[in-house]
Structure 1
Amino acid sequence: MKTFICRQSSLTVNSVCHNKDNNFNLIRILCAWGVLAVHSFALAANKPEITDPLMAFFGVGFGTFFVTVFFAISGFLICRSLDRSQDLKQYAVARIKRLFPGLICALILTTFILGPLLTTLSPKAYFQHPETWTYLLNINLLNIHTVFNLPGVFSNTPYPNTVNGSIWTLPFETWMYVMTAAFFCCQWMFIARLPASQKWLGPVTTVLVSLLFCVAGTYFTDQKQQQHYDILIFICTFFIAASVYKYRQCVPLSWPLMAILLAFTPWLSNTVLAPIYVGLSITYSTLILAYRLSGCVRRYNMVGDYSYGLYIYAFPVQQTLAYLLPDINVAEMIVLTTLLTLPLAILSWHFIEKPSISYRRHQAAASQNQRKH
């Protein structure tokens, strides 16, 4: 099977950004599986000592890199969604129906099925314990303090007292959605009403925010706060991706430019420019792969978007394997988790996520028809 590269040399982001025939679904599922593979090294008992090569290249590890790609795709597509609809209510409903149905199902399954089966407590003690009900508060995605533990569950695994370590990034993505809506309101109230002679304030604001991110990145690096730095990378990448969409008419999609950006990344990933530059190089590379690769890779779009389900179910499955198979190694963890989690992701997409999205789109179409008449 061959993979073909689109040969158009003058493509800009604006010329392809509304094309539904792209590779975003494929990129997302690969990154979700990448997170699964990375977590296997932390969750398996028998694991080799390895050095993360991406830490030297991007300044972040493999796990953070894969999640950063999610933020790049999200920042670009979310900004596009709001720009298309120009409707905050429709935007909010779309985001809620994309995130919450799958997450609610995962929380219910882990709290009321997985927890009672694997807890060291009696069923009565488990359901009377306040931590059981506190875990359900993870449904509040505006709270960045994720609750990871259920009482007596996974207390003796190699990575103890953590039922689902993947969902900690969801509140940060949710806050990016909120900030996108806030920026839309500011743009509508102020920037869009500026006279033509003052339109330069938009790009200047983008540059100033970028400089602020760079200063924050320097601080976190100096203080050796890697997790805070990783979160900053997520935020920067989302911001850069949204900015690329905003200035899409003058952003080319060029393979040589992607190569140049990546070539300079190892040298700039340890400088003050790192947060913005890393976010830019990841975002630009993601868009190139999404829009410029064509041929047989596009066939994945006929399958479905199983990435969210794979992301939110893999960690509990891995912890269950670590609990039931104490001597499991990394390779076994990756293979078994993939075989067990993928069916859950497929079911989640076809029976929970896709129906919710389809219903939302039907409502949006009906609302637009009503406004026309």
Structure 2
Amino acid sequence: MWADPLFGANHFTLLRWGLALGVVVGHAWLIPTGYEPTRIHDWTLSYLAVNGFFILSGLLIAKSLEMRKDVKGYARSRLLRIYPALIVLMLALLFFFGPAFSNPGGIRYLVDSEPWTYVLRVLLMGDPLSAPGGVFGMSSDPVFNGALWTIRYEMLAYVLAGIGFFSGFLKNRWRVLTSLLISQLFYLVLQHASILNDAPDGVVALFRFTTAFLLGMTLWHFPVLRRAGWLSICVAIGSFLLLGRTPIGETLANITLAAGLMHFGLVRSASRTIATMPDYSYGIYIWHYPVLQSVLLLNPDMHPVALLAVSAPPVILAAAASWHVIEKPALQLKKRRRTTGRLGER
């Protein structure tokens, strides 16, 4: 009888590390040159890695909703997973990155209203793509953190998944599959129909991430799809390589990502070392951009390979501190509250 590895030890944490590092590699080229050479067809490594995050998130959130069935616990879990580390990052902007990498910088940065407005906007899941108070203003890519823009879509996905589940709509696997197909259709239309070329970027991104997230939820509802063998992976890769430049290129890329994540994440015999490794992926994701920017401003002529090599240690150190000092204690807080009966099981 087949034992579903999703309910035991798995290698998803290692894969999240890989996805986060894929984003770092892409941005190490994008920031100084404006171009990512790490791509297949027109799909860059960082772009596909973010899609992979949403696929995994959809699977694990669907599992969490089905197994726990606690709306308050679910809401607290999502907030505690995202906000503590994000708040610390915003404090780092105000008290380190801003004063050190803006002009005139120093204490004057703290009396400027723009950084404080930016912090409030980010924490309220508004647009983070700016350089508040001129931080990193001399960079070729004058943005404080070009990775944060996806977090609001992640939070929106959490909210919509929770509403869909607790209303009963997303408990039915055929409704989930239908929702995926409808979202995919709308996304294709928004991307390729000439009459909709002026569709707001936010709307296009919404359907991009909704489609990836629903693909993950579909994997939860159809366990057979999680048993991706080498044949399935080879067919998916071949299809993507052959048709990646067509309108269904991203669809095939997502299917390939899903197959790979399931095959390498849900292994029959998980390594204990890999299954219990700390999850630095969120820390890597939210800290790498300002670290890359800082290193590049200190060394403006640095080649992307050197930028990546020099930035990797501080990025990992920041992610480690984020996990061990902020994120993990927040997760343990949820567990402690569950044991006292004040919080439902996650």
Same-fold call, TM cutoff 0.5: yes
State yes or no: 1:340 paired with 2:314: yes
State yes or no: 1:38 paired with 2:26: yes
State yes or no: 1:253 paired with 2:235: no
Q: What displacement does 1:349 show?
A: 0.7
State yes or no: 1:186 paired with 2:160: no
Match of 1:286 in 2: 261
- Letter in structure 2 aligned against 1:176: A
The answer (yes or no) to whether the contact 1:237–1:276 under 8 Å persists in 2 is no
Paired with 1:62 and 1:227, the residues of 2 have a C-alpha distance of 20
- Letter in structure 2 aligned against 1:53: R
TM-score, length basis structure 2: 0.88
Paired with 2:176 and 2:325, the residues of 1 have a C-alpha distance of 43
Q: Map Cα deviations across residues 53-72 of structure 1 (whole Å, 9 max, x no partner).
A: 32x1xx52111111111111
Identify the match of residue 61 of structure 2 among 65, 78, 85. 78
Paired with 2:300 and 2:81, the residues of 1 have a C-alpha distance of 36
Paired with 1:320 and 1:69, the residues of 2 have a C-alpha distance of 27
Seen in structure 2, the aligned counterparts of structure 1 residues 85 and 130 have a Cα distance that, compared at 3 Å, is same
Aligned-pair identity in percent equals: 23
Paired with 2:233 and 2:339, the residues of 1 have a C-alpha distance of 37
Match of 2:208 in 1: 233
The answer (yes or no) to whether the contact 2:72–2:343 under 8 Å persists in 1 is no
State yes or no: 1:152 paired with 2:139: no
Structure 2 matches for 1:267-278, cutoff 5 A? 267-271=242-246, 273-274=248-249, 276-278=251-253
Q: What displacement does 1:233 show?
A: 3.1
Match of 1:112 in 2: 95
Identify the match of residue 26 of structure 1 among 6, 9, 14. 14
- Letter in structure 2 aligned against 1:344: A
Bigger mean CA deviation after superposition, 220-229 or 162-171: 220-229
Structure 2 matches for 1:134-173, cutoff 5 A? 134-143=117-126, 145-160=127-142, 162-173=143-154
Paired with 2:124 and 2:268, the residues of 1 have a C-alpha distance of 34
Paired with 1:107 and 1:369, the residues of 2 have a C-alpha distance of 28
Bigger Cα Rg? 1
Seen in structure 2, the aligned counterparts of structure 1 residues 53 and 166 have a Cα distance that, compared at 3 Å, is closer
Identify the match of residue 203 of structure 1 among 165, 174, 197. 174
- Letter in structure 2 aligned against 1:242: M
The answer (yes or no) to whether the contact 2:11–2:270 under 8 Å persists in 1 is no
Match of 2:290 in 1: 316
Structure 2 residue ranges without an equivalent (≥5)? none
The answer (yes or no) to whether the contact 1:241–1:280 under 8 Å persists in 2 is no
State yes or no: 1:53 paired with 2:53: no
The answer (yes or no) to whether the contact 1:100–1:139 under 8 Å persists in 2 is no
Q: What displacement does 1:283 show?
A: 1.7
Paired with 1:283 and 1:370, the residues of 2 have a C-alpha distance of 30
Match of 1:196 in 2: none
Q: What displacement does 1:146 show?
A: 2.1
Structure 1 residue ranges without an equivalent (≥5)? 1-9, 193-198
Q: What displacement does 1:85 show?
A: 0.7
Bigger mean CA deviation after superposition, 348-357 or 213-222: 213-222
The answer (yes or no) to whether the contact 2:176–2:217 under 8 Å persists in 1 is no
State yes or no: 1:69 paired with 2:60: no
- Letter in structure 1 aligned against 2:70: D
TM-score, length basis structure 1: 0.82
Paired with 1:50 and 1:38, the residues of 2 have a C-alpha distance of 6
- Letter in structure 1 aligned against 2:239: F
State the superposition RMSD in angstroms. 2.9
Paired with 2:275 and 2:71, the residues of 1 have a C-alpha distance of 28
Q: Map Cα deviations across residues 285-313 of structure 1 (whole Å, 9 max, x no partner).
A: 211110127565x5233431111111111
- Letter in structure 2 aligned against 1:26: L
- Bigger relative contact order (CA 8 A; separation at least 6): 1
Residue-pair matches, total:
341
Match of 1:214 in 2: 185
Bigger mean CA deviation after superposition, 316-325 or 221-230: 221-230
Seen in structure 2, the aligned counterparts of structure 1 residues 33 and 250 have a Cα distance that, compared at 3 Å, is closer
- Letter in structure 1 aligned against 2:295: L
The answer (yes or no) to whether the contact 2:58–2:217 under 8 Å persists in 1 is yes
